[in-house]
């Protein structure tokens, strides 16, 4: 639908038998190709960029203006609170969550962090390795268990200082009712962090409270999953939190005064962005946000979900396919995890790539405890190379591409022994 917006799709790749084909990229949950407009913006901005807020030159002034404007664009995109929130640019979602886990220490003192069993390791380990952490379980389909959520909220009433939860799972694509959960956590005096790495590129999001929506305290996401390049992550949260204490990386850009014996920190967000910042990354993100806004996040969501619905419906009719998610149209982004009975996930992913130029991802997707549950692996037991194959759509994927996938999955499913034999040198077990 939005195919010609995206850069680099016309590249031909050789397949096994030397037939060239245009690659089909169904691995958008890992990262997305950049928009053409983003590449153009990078090219036209490159002669102008300079170190920000430091030089007096014209180029430095332009760069500083663009960088500051990018913060406003990001805050508008997620409807953050202009009076109270600050937008911090870091490297990626992982770095953002780690920063928050360091800076929020005082707030968590004496209490617990509540998270879930469906988190990416980036929203699990920064909490689990630093604080007493409890978990909301998932149900047998892999959705967040609302029953267990209520149980945990009751059991730890008054102790939950932070709920750290993903907006959408990078494995199943299930979304969580973040505003309802925010209300329940706020009622107990806690705060909520939404890991938006998967949600923000695919679904409209509103951080600010309204009559029907409870506000989100902290939000993180990554530009490289939103049609902008690698190297830019966003952390949004109340400025107040970052005004207190010391940043975990002191150095250039974080201070307003240093003498032999004293240090005075500058204000957030600069206080949290040690060293020379990634101006180009912020400019690129701001440009990709403009394109997403002009298309409309509701339209994107709708298009991608229809494509997902179409694909899942067809996959359900193919023998030997095991799906690890359901057609939950209202609570889902465009991700489909599956396996084919009898073919190890890494071989299936390789077959798709080598035979038809279809890129997917396989394995545990940096969410091992969640994948272990989806595969019914007992907690803490060791299984050699467990995993799933994941299809994840971007806004530029087409129905024709899905048809190619479906035809080929049908063919594999009827010739499992043939394909296993052909790729047997890749079998590890
Ligand atoms: N959270 C989720 C839900 C993700 O899908 C990812 C990326 N796969 C991350 C966090 C980490 O993002 P990044 O690699 O950009 O730090």
Provide block-wise average pLDDT over 10 residues at a time, the chain (429 residues). 82 72 90 95 88 79 92 98 97 98 97 98 98 96 95 97 98 97 96 98 92 93 97 98 96 94 96 95 97 97 96 97 84 96 94 94 95 86 83 96 97 95 77
Query: Residue of the nearest CA to atom 6 in ligand 1?
Result: 197
User: How far is residue 290 from each of residues 4, 51, 164, 293, 299, measured CA to CA in Å?
Assistant: 16, 24, 28, 5, 14
8 and 110 in a single domain? The answer is: no
pLDDT value of position 37? 95
Query: Residue of the nearest CA to atom 8 in ligand 1?
Result: 30
93 and 126 in a single domain? The answer is: yes
CA distance 139 to 249: 40
**Distance from Cα 256 to the centre of ligand 1, integer Å:** 33
**Distance from Cα 389 to the centre of ligand 1, integer Å:** 17
User: How far is residue 376 from each of residues 121, 139, 149, measured CA to CA in Å?
Assistant: 19, 12, 21
260 and 217 in a single domain? The answer is: yes
50 and 71 in a single domain? The answer is: yes
**Distance from Cα 165 to the centre of ligand 1, integer Å:** 12
What are phi and psi for residue 133, nearest 5 degrees?
-130, 135
User: How far is residue 369 from each of residues 116, 120, 138, 198, 375, measured CA to CA in Å?
Assistant: 10, 9, 11, 18, 10
225 and 195 in a single domain? The answer is: yes
Domain range holding 421?
3-30+296-426
Q: What is the DSSP string of 305-341?
A: HHHHHHHHHHHHTSTTEEESS---GGGB-SEEEEEET
What are phi and psi for residue 60, nearest 5 degrees?
-65, -40
pLDDT value of position 15? 73
- Which pTM value belongs to this model? 0.96
Of the candidates 46, 94, 108, the one whose C-alpha atom is nearest the C-alpha of residue 280 is 46
135 and 217 in a single domain? The answer is: yes
pLDDT value of position 17? 64
334 and 408 in a single domain? The answer is: yes
Is this complex's ipTM strictly greater than 0.95? yes
Residues in the ligand 1 pocket, defined by CB under 6 Å: 92-94, 120, 122-123, 166, 170, 195, 197-198, 222, 366
Which strands make up the sheet holding 361-363, listed edge to edge? 321-323, 335-340, 388-392, 361-363
215 and 92 in a single domain? The answer is: yes
Of the candidates 64, 6, 63, the one whose C-alpha atom is nearest the C-alpha of residue 37 is 6
Q: Three-state DSSP class for 2?
A: coil
Atom of ligand 1 nearest to the CA of 233: 15
């Amino acid at each position: 639908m939005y195919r010609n917006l995206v850069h680099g799709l016309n590249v031909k790749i050789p397949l096994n038998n030397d037939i060239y084909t245009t690659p089909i990229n169904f691995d958008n949950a890992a990262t997305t190709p950049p928009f053409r407009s983003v590449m153009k913006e990078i090219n036209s901005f490159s002669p102008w960029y300079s170190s920000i807020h430091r030089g007096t030159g014209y180029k430095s002034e332009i760069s500083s203006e663009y960088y500051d404007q990018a913060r406003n664009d990001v805050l508008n995109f997620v409807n953050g609170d202009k009076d109270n929130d600050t937008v911090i640019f870091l490297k990626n979602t992982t770095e953002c969550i780690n920063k928050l886990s360091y800076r929020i220490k005082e707030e968590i003192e004496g209490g617990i962090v509540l998270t879930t069993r469906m988190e990416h390791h980036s929203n699990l380990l920064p909490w689990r390795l630093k604080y007493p952490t409890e978990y909301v379980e998932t149900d047998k389909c892999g959705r967040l268990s609302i029953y267990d959520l209520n149980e945990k909220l009751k059991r730890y009433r008054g102790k939950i200082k932070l709920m750290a939860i993903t907006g959408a799972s990078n494995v199943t694509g299930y979304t969580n009712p973040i505003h309802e959960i925010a209300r329940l956590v706020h009622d107990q005096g806690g705060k909520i962090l939404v890991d938006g790495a998967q949600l923000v590129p695919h679904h409209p999001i509103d951080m600010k409270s309204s009559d029907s929506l409870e506000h989100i305290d902290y939000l993180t996401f990554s530009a490289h999953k939103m049609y902008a390049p690698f190297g830019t992550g966003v952390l949004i949260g109340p400025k107040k939190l970052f005004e207190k204490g010391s940043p975990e990386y002191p150095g250039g850009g974080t201070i307003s005064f240093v003498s032999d014996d004293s240090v005075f920190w500058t204000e957030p967000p600069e206080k949290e962005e040690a060293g020379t910042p990634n101006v180009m990354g912020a400019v690129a993100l701001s440009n990709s946000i403009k394109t997403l806004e002009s298309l409309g996040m509701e339209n994107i969501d709708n298009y991608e979900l229809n494509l997902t619905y179409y694909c899942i419906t067809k996959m359900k009719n193919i023998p030997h396919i095991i799906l690890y998610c359901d057609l939950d149209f209202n609570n889902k982004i465009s991700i489909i995890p599956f396996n084919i009975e009898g073919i190890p996930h890494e071989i299936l992913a390789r077959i798709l790539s080598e035979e038809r130029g279809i890129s997917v991802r396989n394995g545990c997707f940096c969410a091992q405890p969640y994948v272990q549950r989806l595969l019914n692996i007992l907690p803490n037991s060791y299984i050699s190379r467990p995993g799933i194959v994941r299809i994840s759509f971007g806004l530029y994927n087409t129905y024709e591409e899905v048809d190619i996938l479906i035809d080929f999955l049908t063919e594999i499913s009827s010739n499992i022994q043939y394909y296993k034999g052909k790729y047997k040198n890749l079998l590890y077990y």
